[in-house]
Amino acid sequence: MKTKLSFRRKAVNAVMLSITGIFTMLAVGLLFFILGYLFVQGGFSLNWNFFTKLPAPVGESGGGMANALLGSAKVLLLATCIGVPIGFLAGIYLAEYAPPAFASTVRFVTDLLNGVPSIVVGIFAYAIIVQGIRVGFSTLAGGVALGVMMIPIALRSTEEFLMAVPGSLREGAMALGATKSRTIATVVVPAAIRGLISGMMLNLARVAGETAPLLFTALGNQFWSPGWRQPTATLPAMIYEYAKAPYEDWHRQAWAAGFVLLTLVLLVNITARSIVARGFAHKSR
Amino acid sequence: MATATFPRARPARRASVFRRMFSADSLARAGVFLCATAILALTALLLWELWRNSALARARFGFNFLTSSNWDPVAGDFGALPYIFGTVVTSAVGLALAIPFGVGAAIFLAELAPAKLSDAMTFLIELLAAVPSVIFGLIGIFVLVPLLNRVVPGLKEAFGFLPIFSGPFYGVSLLSAGVVLSVMVAPYIISVSREVLLAVPRDMREAALALGATRWETTWHVVVPYARRGIMGSVFLALARALGETMAVTMVVGNTPQIAKSLLAPGYSIAAVIANEFAEATTDLHRSSLTELGLVLFGLTIVLNAAARLLILATGKRAGQ
């Protein structure tokens, strides 16, 4: 009886533990499957035209997505110019100045803002830019939508990395007579710079793949989009449009675009994470 | 040292009030303070814009908006029920698949795997979370849907007597959307649950093992219950994300506003209908109704996120004691 019970417990132990292992393998395997599939489908669909040509008119094959690449770059540039400074400065306030109660309020609201679905942020950008200041569907509206999405993560990562800077550095600078702002600008921020840069890179990579808020802010465009007040094509929105379309050649283009987008996003992710890993391992087990 | 002769510092001038108010230091302080306040203002503005722009729909339909299932832009009649239904069902299917998967993998990574392997695998799983949703949609359309088309007939043969597996299957369906969502939210459950499990004090494990429990019994009866609030928190975060997920869902759900009892039938979701109709909405009422859907989504995710943060916070505090 005793050995039987013990056997049953051992069996449950072995079975359950292997199941958890299998689940983990499946999750990791899925990543490699997605990567591999995109690599094969997209890699073969990719050619030089993709980077240099405008989309071909409906019914013609060939063409590329040069305008979408430029459009995405412009939207992301604008988003970075909006989201990073606000988030970064607010993060400094939270880490260096804020009284605890106010800091935790801002932190909580920031987390909520971070949880707002991207499509709702799109409606917001539509309301204030497209309709509110009557710019219409434009690069500007798309940039604002993604910029709003960048603020919460910019703030939280800035705060996290500044908090990790030892207090003795601040005390040292202040003992030498530096004002608080000078201490932050010349001692604290440089000490955390690796973390800050990698945080911003991860942030950018996250919004780079956002599609939903762009559908009705940047809208889309088959041609080049000069300036900031015209509708513009963006890479993720093009993937969506081309994947939905009933044409074989457009599917091929969608795979190629997906390949380019995923490669960029993952490269930025891996680079950013390795920058932090080389800097300081504050998240050790 | 007190007698050492340093060059005399400039005699301290009493800074005028003006200079003190506008010194670089206090300007910097005011600047960063403004940015922090701007975030509060921005969130309030976001809520206000959603509220203001949905006024028309709220005035016209009132509470019926949430209970009516008629959505007719031409006649100007809007009811959100099929979208709310689709959002809830796809998210529920997604979570039902992702929770065992995610928690299982988190247990493996936190309790069993050697630290180095665990870190490497967590890194890969977090990369999975970084894959843009439109790419999941692409994989969904061209890989998952054909795959399900082959798997589902067998599923129907085995479970066809259940109403949720009845009816014809065209590939795009609530089930397909749920499966895609499960893959998308699982990394969140895994990485947050793993952190929470790692925060469980070592003594708890040692005590259980010393009493003769197996590794699994220790994990399941001691470690997991200790961390259950944090795990719940990770599930709420995943749910909030699933509810708001747009691209991957709209690409595989079928975009048919109906309330079907079968998971194999096509459906629609709140986020998907906003994505598909917002740019083309011609009447104010249509746009206002879509904005109200956005408001509903906003409300749902805010509540879930707040609950999740509080739960994770609660576990953290307990582990810290």
Size of interface A-B (CB pairs under 8 A): 261
Q: Tell me phi and psi for residue B77, to 5 degrees.
A: -115, 125
C-beta atoms of A116 and B301 within 8 A: yes
Dist CA A22 CA B105 (whole Å): 8
Dist CA A239 CA B135 (whole Å): 8
Does the predicted interface ipTM exceed a cut of 0.95? no
C-beta atoms of A212 and B42 within 8 A: no
Sign of CA dihedral B164, B145, A254, B137: positive
DSSP line for A201-263:
HHHHHHHHT--GGGTTTT---SS---SSSS----HHHHHHHHHHSS-HHHHHHHHHHHHHHHH
Tell me if residue A55 falls in helix, strand or coil.
strand
Helix spans in chain A (H): 2-45, 48-52, 66-92, 100-115, 118-125, 139-163, 167-175, 180-183, 189-191, 193-208, 235-244, 248-279
Q: What is the pLDDT of residues B76-134, one digit of tens each?
A: 889 999 999 999 999 999 999 999 999 999 999 999 889 899 999 999 998 988 999 99
Cβ burial, residue A61 (10 Å; 0-12/13-18/19+): exposed
A137 at B interface, C-beta within 8 A: yes
Question: Which of B246, B305, B309 is the closest to A118 by Cβ?
Answer: B246
CB contacts of A211 in chain B (<8 Å) are 132-134, 246-247
Q: Enumerate domains of chain B plus CATH numbers.
A: 81-280+293-320 (1.10.3720.10)
Could you tell me which chain A residue has the CA closest to the CA of B248?
A240
Among B23, B50, B126, B135, the strongest candidate for a mutation testing the A interface, having the largest count of A CBs within 10 A, is: B135
pLDDT at residue A4, as a whole number: 62
Bridge partners, residue B71, by sequence:
B78
Our CA angle for B265, B269, B271, nearest 5°, is 155
Structure tokens given for B136: 């999941």
Q: Enumerate domains of chain A plus CATH numbers.
A: 62-279 (1.10.3720.10)
Written as tens digits, the pLDDT of chain A (285 aa) is 455 668 888 899 999 989 999 999 998 898 889 889 988 888 888 888 888 888 888 777 778 899 999 999 999 999 999 999 999 999 999 999 999 999 989 998 998 899 899 999 999 999 999 888 989 899 999 999 999 999 999 999 999 999 999 999 999 999 999 999 999 999 999 999 999 999 999 999 999 999 999 999 988 888 888 888 899 999 999 999 999 888 888 898 999 999 999 999 999 999 998 888 765 444 433
Nearest to residue B129, comparing CAs of B288, B238, B32, B275? B238
Q: CB of B210 within 8 A of CB of B285? A: no
In angstroms, the Cα distances linking B237 to A24, A87, A163, B101, B277 are 20, 22, 25, 16, 27
For residues B119 and B18, the model is more confident at B119
| Amino acid residing at A225 | S
Question: Which of B40, B43, B275 is the closest to A215 by Cβ?
Answer: B275
Structure tokens given for A119: 């499509």
Among B179, B198, B209, B247, the strongest candidate for a mutation testing the A interface, having the largest count of A CBs within 10 A, is: B247
C-beta atoms of B39 and A111 within 8 A: no
| Amino acid residing at B219 | T
